[in-house]
Amino acid sequence: MTTTTTGPDAETELVIGGMTCASCAARIEKKLNRMDGVTATVNYATEKARVSHSGDVSVRDLIATVEKTGYTAQEPEPPEPRHDDMAADDELRPLRERLVTAVVLAGPVVAMAMIPALQFEYWQWLSLTLAAPVVTYAGWPFHRAAFTNARHGAATMDTLISVGTAAAFGWSLWALFFGTAGTPGMTHPFELTITRGDGAGNLYLEAAAGVTAFILAGRYFEARSKRKAGAALRALLELGAKDVTVLRPDGDERTLPLAELKVGDRFLVRPGEKIATDGTVVEGSSAVDASMLTGESVPVEVGVGDPVTGATVNAGGRLVVEATRVGADTRLARMAKLVEDAQNGKAAAQRLADRISGVFVPIVIALALGTLGFWLGNGSGPTAAFTAAVAVLIIACPCALGLATPTALLVGTGRGAQLGILIKGPEVLESTRKVDTVVLDKTGTVTTGRMALTALHPADGTEEAEVLRLAGALEHSSEHPIARAVAEGALEKLGSLPAPEDFANVPGLGVQGVVDGDAVLVGRERLLADWAMELPEELARAKADAEAAGRTAVVVAWDGEARAVLEVADAVKATSAEAITRLRALGLSPILLTGDNRAVAESVAREVGIAPEDVVAEVLPEDKVDVVKRLQREGRSVAMVGDGVNDAAALAQADLGLAMGTGTDAAIEAGDLTLVRGDLRAAADAIRLARRTLGTIRTNLFWAFAYNVAALPLAAAGLLNPMLAGAAMAFSSVFVVGNSLRLRSFRAAD
């Protein structure tokens, strides 16, 4: 996805080529940030640079700077519609070919060096013949990168590998051609038997070949794992339809590329097809499977007037949809942009790791030279000194440090996108660890935000089904929100309703009409008075109780008598109570925040398990920010969950803002986490996932630091053979990436 903008404050994304370790990313970032008006972040795991720059700096200037540093850069190109495995195979083929060559040829070299029984006459020359292609051809990427970096006065991980393997190979060449190592029957160097006083008789061909093979294996599995880590985002980007069937005003159907679709166009969606873009249903009804965007497996019923989202699947009937958003404005594109921005971001811990990686290589080279000098000065001889120095060069790998945060972010944010949870950036993760209080907006968050029939109180001798049939039939002809709630409740219970006759709306009071020969009234109690009817005591009590709880009471009468009281209210979501329980289990104290009166608020709070003292009611929209600030002054770390325009400021003020994706754009923009589906349980899942991702990052960083802290002294002390050091170094990077991939198994709570 290209994110280039132009103007006085432009933002450009560049794909960087040639990076082999975190110190490469640090060098490029440093060079870019030295340019006037440029702020850049380079991510080694995603191989991308996100650059903010003034209008005086062109994209060409940025690319030229990267190229002068010794790397390649280009703007992203739209992904080709190819199978993911095929694309991965193309990218990894060159590395795999070098790895296979290294393993096949290095295996016998290592075996002959380690097993005396395999050492026949002139075995050293066969080892040289096999090791030479490994060090030169298979290891060529390391040498090429080291040479390029040297031309620019820099050193990276490739410098360490190249110098270490070239030194081992060069030492062996000297021993073979100018020493006694070429003499038949020479003892293996691991036994430290020196045939000449200067130690030239010792071979390190197995170290040079083995290290190259191990490091190539590490790079290959690291590259495969990194691709798996980013698979969720690629899958998200590829979800959308490629073509669309547009309906012309004359009734003709034309199949066009999706890019040609415009806002206002009407398009056809047949059963089983993907909905091409965000829009509104103008004809037909169906069930829509949105699981790929929301993580919710149950299809949603849609009809005329309902909004639909691009990339969801029409699982039922024929739909005609009018496009309301296209291209980068669609919900899918915005989700992908949020995920990509999060993956390109850097947490504070990662910036520290990048700074360490940037100076790590020169320090290691100095340490290797110091190790060489120490052992030579200690009288241990050149063999021991050389072995220790090469081991120091090989063992020190800043790659694990550079991969610790971005790979966990790649997997964590990608997995979140699959579950309908969008994490805006790495700094959000730290906030999830600290929060101890969660403020919940009532309408649209804890409740559905729509009026619904919540209770029915029939008079003695009156059947509930009859009340629903007559009241629902009459209310079905009205557009009032309360009438719609009654009609929908009746339809849900009965399935179908009769058609009313002589329907009439009584402004401010209700409706009246004839249903199956019965004269029916539905509305306020005052409507009964106009027809000389009174409310029986039992129904009057039910009406008073409903109104005391903040619900709307509707009276139903027919045949000259009041027959029932219906309760209508903003219904609590079926999953809200369970969500509150899950939030408490995460150590969060829930607070209900609403502009409704206290009776309504406390009724909702009781239903979901929130104590009355944790209800803040009758709050004006502009005062919601003050509530959050007050809680923060009390020393609490506050998370806010909301969905409306009036929640945006409070979401921004909170330590952690969770925006319901079913809400307004303003709320989504202000939130730190976006919950694509309107289920409050997703808030608990989001916090769990963010905390799990943060924990993975911390684990990765700990082991990356611990590895280097423990391994470098061992290598300098001469306790590590260079070949084993190469294996350990390769394993450290693979371990970090593999640990991050464990996040792919994260599941939303049942």
Q: Which residues are catalytic?
A: 441
What φ, ψ does residue 457 adopt, rounded to 5°? -120, 95
Q: Do the Cβ atoms of 212 and 133 come closer than 8 Å?
A: no
Q: CA-to-CA distance for 271 and 174, rounded, in angstroms?
A: 74
What SS3 state is found at 556?
strand
What φ, ψ does residue 461 adopt, rounded to 5°? 85, 0
In eight-state DSSP terms, residue 534 is -
Structure tokens, 549 = 């709880």
Percent of the chain as helix, strand, coil, to the nearest 5: 55, 20, 30
CA 567, 571, 575, 576 dihedral sign is: negative
Long-range contacts of 596-600 (CB under 8 A, 24+ apart): 596/442, 596/443, 596/550, 597/550, 599/548, 599/549, 599/550, 600/549, 600/550, 600/551, 600/569, 600/570
Give the dihedral of Cα atoms 637, 642, 645, 648; nearest 10 deg. 20
Q: CA-to-CA distance for 361 and 145, rounded, in angstroms?
A: 14
Q: CA-to-CA distance for 641 and 447, rounded, in angstroms?
A: 12
Q: CA-to-CA distance for 742 and 531, rounded, in angstroms?
A: 70
CA 26, 30, 31, 35 dihedral sign is: positive
Apex 260 CA angle, 254 and 264, nearest 5: 80
Q: What is the DSSP string of 275-316?
A: P-SEEEEEE--EEEE-HHHH---S-EEE-TT-EE-TT-EE-S
Across 425-560, where does the E strand assignment appear? 437-441, 447-458, 501-506, 510-515, 518-523, 552-558
Q: Which residue has the tokens 């490469």?
A: 24
- E strand or H helix that includes residue 361: helix 348-377
Going by C-alpha positions, the residue among 412, 383, 462 that lies closest to residue 686 is 412
Total residues found in the chain within this entry: 750
Q: CA-to-CA distance for 130 and 140, rounded, in angstroms?
A: 15
Apex 24 CA angle, 22 and 26, nearest 5: 70
Structure tokens, 63 = 């690319």
Q: Do the Cβ atoms of 525 and 556 come closer than 8 Å?
A: no
